[in-house]
Structure 1
């Protein structure tokens, strides 16, 4: 099964940022081919240093066992380790004035927005966050 996840949530909606990566990792662990396409505010998660500062909940929250909660970047690394590919919208990167050097090394490619449309038609499932 092929799944593409459109990630428009970003630093402005931190409570929405962890679940897409968790779901992507679960899908990949269950033999799905998964790509995440970052657009709009989701593109900001790809900026170096941004996702490391976002905890999906209140700042300085602790889990029920007293351990520090994972950052969004931790969830991103889990997804990458499971085999999820990260793609960013070229138009979003350009509109934010970013270059490849500004973005995390986990990013696989920067592609035109049309690539999402093509994949959305070809893939089995499309999830939007």
Structure 2
């Protein structure tokens, strides 16, 4: 475990257009939270699509985005990785401006989302973080 709790902020701009990039941020966030880091993921740009209900459940982290492997086994979806991160204590926030620009309401978003915050809040948290990671 860490001697000092680290504050990690992840900016998630990858989304359905780049499925091969979508699982790793949640996997890494889960590992960091398991080491008692305070981890927050902020969704922006195409990443905002991942918090729309029903979207991440249909995305598999492969180059083709195919949710079935060669042997017919169904691998984990991006939503499965997101739920693992939440169980580890990772917090999810979305950029208010991104949500508004997409015409989304809170009812359109996954229940795992901890809040919708203005970009200025992300900027403050990013400046105060020990580490800022972007995907």
Tell me, yes or no, whether TM beats 0.5: yes
1:63 is displaced (CA, Å) by 7.3
Is the counterpart of residue 20 in structure 1 residue 25 in structure 2? yes
Unaligned runs of 5+ in 1: none
Q: Establish whether residue 8 from structure 1 lines up as the match of residue 13 from structure 2.
A: yes
Counterparts of residues 1-129 of structure 1 (less than 5 Å): 1-57=6-62, 58=64, 59-62=66-69, 67-129=73-135
**What's 2:3 paired with?**
none
Preserved contact between residue 8 and residue 129 of structure 2 (Cα < 8 Å): yes
> So what's the TM-score if we normalise by structure 2?
0.91
The answer as to whether partners of 2:94 and 2:117 remain within 8 angstroms in 1 is: yes
- 1:84-113 per-position Cα deviation (integer Å, ceiling 9, x unaligned): 000000000000000000000000000000
Q: 2:126 is paired with a residue of what secondary structure?
A: helix
- In the TM superposition, residue 55 of structure 1 has moved relative to its aligned partner by 0.5
Distance 1:121 1:73 in 2: 28
Structure 2 residue runs without a partner (length 5+): 1-5
Q: Secondary structure at the match of 2:15?
A: coil
Q: How many residues align?
A: 128
State the alpha-carbon separation in 1 of the partners of residues 69 and 87 from structure 2: 25
Change in 2 beyond 3 A, CA 1:73/1:60: closer
The 1-side partners of 2:88 and 2:67 are apart by: 27
